[in-house]
Amino acid sequence: MTALRADAAVAWAIARKDALAELRGRQAVGSTLFFAGLVLLLFGFALGPDSRRLTEAAPGLLWLAIVFGGLLTVARLHQLEADDGALEELARYPVARRAIYLGKALAGLGAMLVLGGLLLPVVAILYGIDLAGAWLPLIATLVLGAIGFAAVGTFYAGVTVRMRAREVMLPLLMLPVIAPLLLAAVKATTAALGGDPFGELGSWLQLLAGFDVVMLVAGAATYGYLLEE
> How far apart are the C-alpha atoms of 115 and 184, rounded to whole Å?
19
- The mark string for 140-179 relative to other proteins (x by CB under 8 A, - otherwise) is ---------------x---x---xxx---x--xx-xxx-x
Q: Find the Cα–Cα–Cα–Cα dihedral 136, 138, 140, 141, rounded to 10°.
A: 160
Residue type, position 68, single letter: F
Residue 203 near other proteins by CB under 8 A: yes
> How far apart are the C-alpha atoms of 6 and 87, rounded to whole Å?
20
Handedness of CA 22, 138, 70, 83 (dihedral sign): positive
Q: Number of residues in contact with other proteins, rule: CB under 8 A?
A: 31
Residue 92 near other proteins by CB under 8 A: no
Q: How far is the CB of 118 from other proteins (least distance, A)?
A: 27
Q: How far is the CB of 212 from other proteins (least distance, A)?
A: 11
Task: Provide the greatest CA pair distance for the chain.
Answer: 59
Q: HSE on the CB side for 76, CA within 13 Å?
A: 24
Q: How far is the CB of 33 from other proteins (least distance, A)?
A: 28
Residue 228 near other proteins by CB under 8 A: yes
> How far apart are the C-alpha atoms of 227 and 89, rounded to whole Å?
10
Q: Interface with other proteins by CB under 8 A: which range of 1-9, 39-47, 132-140, 220-228?
A: 220-228
Q: How far is the CB of 80 from other proteins (least distance, A)?
A: 21
Residue 50 near other proteins by CB under 8 A: no
* Cβ pair 170, 74 in contact under 8 A: yes
Catalog residues that contact other proteins under the rule CB under 8 A. Answer: 155, 159, 163-165, 169, 172-173, 175-177, 179-180, 183-184, 187, 198, 200, 203, 207, 210-211, 214-215, 218-219, 222, 225-226, 228-229
